[in-house]
Structure 1
Amino acid sequence: MGLTVKSSYALRALYELANFHYNGIKRVSINDLSKKQKIPKDFLEKIFSELREHGIVDSVRGRYGGYALTKNPKDLKLSEVIYVLDKPFQSYECVITGKCETLGSDCAVGYVWKMVNTVLMKELSKITLADLLEIGKKLELMGGNTVEEKINNADERGS
C-alpha cells in the first residue's frame, strides 16, 4: 500500500553498500550488511533477491563473493528502489487507472491518493544513493542522539 519497513531496510543496506563502495570495497556479504545495519539476515536476503532481479544489485557466490551495486550511487535514485519493493499506493485501483471503480473520475479520495503518490515519487526521484551518503556524513557532524536532536541542532546553528 504505502512505504514499508522493507524499503527502509533496503535503503539502509544500500546506504551501507555504497559506503563500502566509496571506501574501495566492491563486494559485501549479506552478513556484513545485516550486522552493520541491524537488519534480520533472512529478510535482507529476500530484499536483495528482489533488488538483484531488478538489476539494482548483483551478487557473486563464494569466498570472495558478495553483493555489489550495479550503478554508481550518483545514478541510483531512491524512487527506483522504493518502486521495486513497495510500489507505493499501487494497491489502490484508482492510483493505477486514474479512475475510481465506484465513482469514476469524481472520487476525491482517489484524487488525493494519486496526488500523494505523484508527489512522493517525484521527491524520491530527486534523491540519489550518493545524496543519502552525503546526508549521512552531515548527520554524523550534527551531534545529538536522535534525528530530531540533529535537526534541532542544525536549526540552532542556522544550517
Structure 2
Amino acid sequence: MGLTVKSSYALRALYELALFHKNGIERVSINELSTKQKIPKDFLEKIFSELREYGVVDSVRGRYGGYALSKDPKKLKLSEVIYILDKPFQSYECVITGKCETLGSDCAVGYIWKKVNAILMQELSKITLADLIELGEKLELMGGNTVEEKINNIDEWRS
C-alpha cells in the first residue's frame, strides 16, 4: 500500500549504478550491485526486470554485459521509481479515480491516504537520482558515526 523495501532496494541499487556511471563504468553486474548494497540477488533481479520494462535501466547479457541507466540521473525523479515499483496507496479506488463511491470510514481513510500520497509524491518528484548522489557525497564528508548524526550535521550545514 505504501513504500516498501522493494523501492528502498531499487533506490540503493540505482544510486550505486549512478556512481559507477559517474566514474566512467558503463555496465555493472547484478552480482556487484547486490554485493555492494547487500541486497538479495534474486530480489534485485526482479526489481531491475521491472525497471528495465519501464525504461529506467537497460541490460546486456554475456561476459561483458550488465546493467546501465537508461535515463540521465538528472532526469530520473525518485517518484518515478516509487510509482513503478510500489504503486503507492493504490488500494483505495478514490486515490486512483479521484471519485469517492463509499461513505464512512473507507471514504475518510481514503481521503487521508490520497492527501498523504499527493504530498509524498510531490516531494519525491522534486528529487532526482543526481540529487541523491550529491546528497550522498555530502553525507560522506560530514562528521558523525551514525546516519542520524550525519543527517543532523548536513541539516545544520544546509541552514
Please report the TM-score for the alignment, with normalisation by the length of structure 2. Answer: 0.93
Q: Match of 1:87?
A: 87
Alignment gaps of 5+ in structure 1? none
CA distance in 2, matches of 1:152, 1:77: 24
Secondary structure, counterpart of 1:107 in structure 2:
helix
Alpha carbons of structure 1 residues 91 and 144: separation in structure 2 relative to 1, 3 Å = same
Q: What is the DSSP-based 3-state SS (H/G/I as helix, E as strand, rest coil) of the residue aligned with 1:35?
A: helix
Aligned to 1:24: 24
Alpha-carbon deviation of 1:157? 5.3
Kindly provide the CA deviation profile for residues 73-121 of structure 1, in whole angstroms up to 9, marking residues without a partner as x: 11111111000000110111121122333218x9332221111111111
1:50 and 1:155 map into 2 onto residues whose CA distance is 34
Question: Partner residue of 2:9?
Answer: 9
- Name the structure 1 match of 2:60: 60
Work out the CA distance in 2 between the residues paired with 1:120 and 1:155. 20
The total of aligned residue pairs comes to 158
1:152 alignment counterpart: 152
Q: Normalized against structure 1, the TM-score is what?
A: 0.93
Query: Which residue pairs with 1:103 in the alignment?
Result: 103
* 2:34 alignment counterpart: 34
Write the deviation string for residues 11-53 of structure 1: whole angstroms up to 9, x where unpaired: 0000000000000001000000000100000000000000001
Q: Find the counterpart in structure 2 of residue 115 from structure 1.
A: 115
- Percent identity of paired positions between Structure 1 and Structure 2: 86
AA paired with 1:135? L
Q: Which stretches in structure 2 are left out of the alignment for 5+ residues?
A: none
Determine if the alignment matches structure 1 residue 48 to structure 2 residue 48: yes
- Whole-angstrom CA distance in 1 between matches of 2:152 and 2:33: 30
AA in 1 matched with 2:95: V
CA shift digits 1:62-82 (9 cap, x unpaired): 011000000111111111100
8 Å contact from structure 2 (residues 138, 154) kept in 1: no
Alignment check: 8 A CA contact 1:52 1:59 kept: yes
Letter in 2 for 1:139: L
- Given the superposition, is the C-alpha separation of residues 31 and 150 from structure 1 closer, same or farther in structure 2, using an over 3 Å criterion? same
What's the secondary structure of 1:33's corresponding residue? helix
Does the aligned pair in 2 maintain the 1:78–1:125 contact within 8 Å? yes
RMSD across aligned positions (CA): 1.7
